[in-house]
Amino acid sequence: MHAVSAAPPFNQARWTPSLHRTLLTIILTVALAARLWFLSTGVPHAVGIDEPAIVDRALGILNTGSWNTHAFDYPSLVIYLHALVAIVRFLLGAARGEWASLADFDIGAILLAGRFVTALIGTATVWMTWRVGRLLHSPALGLVAAAQLALLSLHVRESHFILTDVPVTALCILALWLSLRASTLHTVAAFAWAGAAIGLTAA
């Protein structure tokens, strides 16, 4: 009897680079669309219960010029992030004549800009999850993991709000990815990047 040759592994036989890129693009597009869908819900009068705690402190930075939040029940990094988002949104709006001073700065515009950035961070987390899965096992595993997170209801929902949940999840995945990468490369730079990601996660 002739031995039957084993079929090549699925990820080697069928997962061509072009197919892989196409599937990843579809997953990321779906992830972004899900996170942008109904992004303006509740703006400006029925927002998430904790969104004002971050937005008000970010606006305090704009109004006072001081980066001391004077409150530490929320991590400072997410407040700094949305202060920067508000600064960029204010400058863009001022350039287009939407307002002439901070007193005229529309709270709805601030909330939408912050939510948009959160949605982008949530989508970036899907991409980083793909990188982790690919690094740990195979391209197929990376795509499966990314697809699961892309439509994970809790992550999709939280990606609509200016809260800490999505940024800290993104930084945790980033820290994991860079740590795995450092364990492979064994370079000072790789470990430094991993350490920086872990520090930002703690912040």
* Residue 150 token pair: 């892309």
Which pLDDT score, from 0 to 100, does residue 72 have? 77
Instruction: Dump pLDDT digits (tens) for 115-148.
Output: 999 999 999 999 999 999 988 877 888 999 999 9
Q: Are 180 and 60 in contact (CB under 8 A)?
A: no
Which pLDDT score, from 0 to 100, does residue 122 have? 97
Amino acid at 174: L
* Residue 101 token pair: 């001073």
Report the candidate in 177, 156, 162, 161 with the shortest Cα–Cα distance to residue 31. 156
Which pLDDT score, from 0 to 100, does residue 14 have? 65
Report the candidate in 42, 59, 54, 32 with the shortest Cα–Cα distance to residue 116. 32
Which pLDDT score, from 0 to 100, does residue 5 have? 42
Which pLDDT score, from 0 to 100, does residue 134 have? 87
* Residue 1 token pair: 């009897």
Q: Which residues of the chain have pLDDT under 70?
A: 1-15
Cα 60-53-94 angle, rounded to 5 deg: 45
Q: Are 111 and 44 in contact (CB under 8 A)?
A: yes
Which pLDDT score, from 0 to 100, does residue 180 have? 92
- pTM score, whole prediction: 0.88
Spell 98-126 as b/e; 16+ CB within 10 A means b.
eeeeeeebeeebbbbbbbbbbbbbbbbbb
Q: Are 82 and 58 in contact (CB under 8 A)?
A: yes
